[in-house]
Structure 1
Amino acid sequence: MERLIERSLFASRWMMAPMYLGLAGALAILVWVFLVELWKFLLIVPVMTVNDAILGVLALIDLSLAANLLMIVIFSGYENFVSRMDLDKERDRPEWQGEVDFSGLKLKLIASIVAISGIHLLKVFMDVAKYTPDHIRWMVVIHMVFVVSGVLLAAMDWIASNAKGRKKKPYPAD
């Protein structure tokens, strides 16, 4: 009975596979939005101001970072929680694929979120007249929450990895 339960629980990991396929679909949506933004950006090139150029590029970078974040979640999540991808013979396989554990995934996620939040904040600062001081304040607070969360996650992972590395030494005899 125990073996049946354990095998069933282990097999349940495959219920995550449709979620990763759904995220791949979300990646396709991000590609579409990126192409639409790029098209809009290209259409205003003849009359573009410096601010328009910077804001347009930031929007494209923002979408690119979100897509990168999605790829990290798809690859790392699938390999950590569902099954290893047998792609060792693939020349284009990213070096980090198969080597990012859950701890590394958390840090990559929070770093990406901080970068995306920073870009949103930079967009606000580039067009500050459009926003109320209260809105700007909240954007800064939210960004700082992401930054502090990232630092705390990194510190917790560092503490945990150092704690695992140390072996408890017996107290010296008196």
Structure 2
Amino acid sequence: MSAPDPLDPLNPPAVRRGSPMRPLPRLIFASRWLQLPLYLGLIIAQGVYVVHFLVELLHLVEAAFGNQTALEALVNSIGYKPDVPVTSLNETVIMLVVLALIDVVMISNLLIMVIVGGYETFVSRMDLDGHRDQPEWLSHVNASVLKVKLGLSIIGISSIHLLKTFINADNYTDRVLIAQTAIHIAFLLSAIAIAYTDKLMSSTPNGKSH
């Protein structure tokens, strides 16, 4: 029987499986585990954000019940500097605090996306197929999808920061307002460029995906 033709797509040669890797490729491949401490560090950072969120939420609840110390802590944390001292929780303070909490949540989502998606993409599979708690986006994540999702998350975070700045615009100079707006537009254009580049790379000339 003749040997299979390597150029024949209907009769490809058998692929050797389970062959041991040479030392250098094995070392290079194992170097991906050097990223593990980085992801563990991000998990710790996630915990810090959770503590910060709970502290801010506790201050908000206490301020709603008239606690002046908690109210002062909130006003200082959001950088709100009104013309008259704030003696009670008002709509502006509540809005700025809620936006700050949303900001923490969005950054936390970004961390989860980087930790889980990055580990799954660059370090090792997590074998979550069929798991009832598997995130929907993780089922089709790859480096390109992760970049687009991270870009969109950064735009969302930037939008929250920009909204907080405009609500508290009296405490910022025009230069700061213009700079933050320009940075937000730069993030937006970058995300569009990344998404468009990914679309070009994942499509054939006939418009079909690989």
Cα offset, 1:88, TM superposition: 3.5
Q: Which runs of 5+ in 2 are unaligned?
A: 1-20, 66-87
| Pairs within 5 Å for 1:68-107 | 68-88=109-129, 90-107=131-148
Secondary structure, aligned partner of 1:86: coil
**Map of 1:20 onto structure 2:** 39
CA distance in 2, matches of 1:29, 1:99: 29
Distance 1:165 1:101, change over 3 A: farther
Among candidates 26, 34, 37, match of residue 56 of structure 2: 37
CA RMSD of aligned residues (A): 1.8
User: In the alignment, residue 43 of structure 1 is paired with which amino acid?
Assistant: E
Q: Indicate the structure whose relative CO is greater, using CA pairs within 8 Å and at least 6 residues apart.
A: 1
CA contact (8 A) 2:162 2:180 kept: yes
Would you say 1:135 and 2:154 are equivalent positions? no
User: In the alignment, residue 152 of structure 1 is paired with which amino acid?
Assistant: A
CA distance in 2, matches of 1:37, 1:163: 50
Cα offset, 1:142, TM superposition: 0.6
Among candidates 159, 177, 193, match of residue 152 of structure 1: 193
User: In the alignment, residue 35 of structure 1 is paired with which amino acid?
Assistant: L
CA distance in 1, matches of 2:138, 2:204: 26
Stretch moving more, 90-99 or 139-148 = 90-99
Cα offset, 1:159, TM superposition: 1.1
**Map of 2:108 onto structure 1:** 67
**Map of 1:171 onto structure 2:** none
CA contact (8 A) 1:79 1:98 kept: no
Q: Which runs of 5+ in 1 are unaligned?
A: 168-174
Distance 1:5 1:96, change over 3 A: same
Distance 1:25 1:15, change over 3 A: same
CA distance in 1, matches of 2:28, 2:57: 45
Cα offset, 1:86, TM superposition: 2.5
Cα offset, 1:45, TM superposition: 1.9
Would you say 1:9 and 2:9 are equivalent positions? no
Structure with the higher fraction of residues in helix conformation: 1
CA distance in 2, matches of 1:100, 1:157: 13
**Map of 1:113 onto structure 2:** 154
Deviations 1:61-85 (A, max 9, x none): 0000000000000001001111111
Distance 1:166 1:4, change over 3 A: farther
User: In the alignment, residue 58 of structure 2 is paired with which amino acid?
Assistant: W
Identity of aligned residues (%): 44
Secondary structure, aligned partner of 1:73: helix
